[in-house]
Amino acid sequence: MFRHEKITLPYLQITDYPQLSWRGLMLDVSRHFYSIEALKDIIDLLAYYKMNVFHWHMTDNEGWRLEMKKYPKLTSIGSWRKEIYGSKMYGQDSSLNWKDTYRYGGYYSQEEARELVAYAAERQITIVPEIEMPGHSGAVLAAYPQFSCSQLPQSVPNSALFNKYNPAPSPNQEYCAGNDSSFLFLQDVLREVMSIFPSPYIHIGGDEVDKTQWKQCARCQKRMQDERLADESELQSYFIKRIARFLETNDRKLIGWDEILEGGLPKNATVMSWRGEKGGIMAAHAGHEVILSPSDPFYLNRYQADPEHEPYAAKYSINTLARVYAYDPYPRALTAAQRKYVKGIQVALWNEFISDRNHVEYMLLPRLPAAAEVAWSKPENKNFEKFIERLNLGHFQSWSWKGCPPLLYTLNSPFLPFLF
């Protein structure tokens, strides 16, 4: 993806260092699958802009993407789903032929994952794997339904999941928190994950847990009674804390989305705050490390300009280049002493609607360089107009020769509103 040409510089001294130690991108490969070569190109792009964390979202309801030696059904069943021609995830379309399906999916072998870890390490990038729990686990429970509350057979969810015209059966998406076998399974999985990824951090998700099944599950209710837990939020906290203790015994640290605050935060856990900054502020006040990834403006799967002129995207906010660039990584609610808990920032690309690498790169660029500058440069050293000038001094052109898709967003294009 990158040219490697020898250049000669005059004798000089460069003093430069980042303000934040965690400068990351999260990529969702569950909703849509991308080749290892495509991921290498993305890692090259991260290295080019001095970002140092690739958060690999490898599991979700719609697909499990990593080979597990002890649990082969995770890939033989959990990595594949029946998709509908012409459908969009979360789309609502009554005109589609829901009987006309095709097999969609894929997974990465452990050898491929190790290859990518080494490739990233050569470029000073740490890969942090995410294994979702206790929710967002529909693909796992299709492969091994005994770890759900109902223990009933189900299929891997597809794009019909939230379609009001032709809805799919509502699948189990949460592990049974009252079943010790759920934890033994997850410990086995995490051992294999840790054998592949040397990252000191393991991301366990922890977001958007639907506690309906837990409320109806006799095993979960008994667990609450035995552990003297007041409600299902405390049961969620019990689940996360149990996994955190296991990771700690293996010299790893737990990261979770800000929902892990609910019911009580595990000791030494790092909070990745996506629902605005509130969760991050709460965690910092409690003395926990924080990674800020507020969906507005850091979710790059959202529109970057007027939706009329853009590919279909998440609609919750329009995250323009200017809004990404203007972000201040230190919330005003933090004191000077509490700012030390802000470990870094991270942009995220959830890929419900992004099915190929060209679309991935279109959504990343040019907002990724803007986020990189937020993470690297202090506010007093940032200037949006000069940033745009620098983009026009070769960056747009370099993206083209690196193999990125033709760029619509030059300064004289009709897509100028994406800047502001």
Distance CA 363, CA 320 (A): 11
Mapped onto helix, strand or coil, the DSSP state of residue 366 is: coil
pLDDT at 6: 80
pLDDT of residue 97: 76
Say if 3 falls within a structural domain. no
What is 135-174 written as a DSSP string? Answer: SS-HHHHHH-GGGBSS----PPP-TTTT-SSSPPPPPP-S
In a domain, 281, yes or no: yes
pTM: predicted TM-score of the whole model, two decimal places: 0.93
In a domain, residue 8? The reply is: no
Q: Please indicate, yes or no, if residue 14 is contained in any of the structural domains.
A: no
Q: Residue 417's pLDDT is what?
A: 37
Whole-number pLDDT of residue 402: 57
Q: How many domains would you assign to the chain? A: 1
Catalytically active residues, by annotation? 60, 136, 208
**What is the reported pLDDT for 160?**
77
Question: Domain range holding 193?
Answer: 22-419
Sites in the chain below the pLDDT cut of 70: 1-4, 165-169, 396-420
Q: Is 308 left (phi over 0), alpha (psi -120 to 50) or beta?
A: alpha
In a domain, 16, yes or no: no
Report residue 100 CA to chain centroid gap: 31
Contact 205, 257 (CB under 8 A): yes
Predicted confidence at residue 418, as pLDDT, reads 39
CATH number at residue 43: 3.20.20.80
Record the tokens describing residue 306, joined without a space: 């007027």
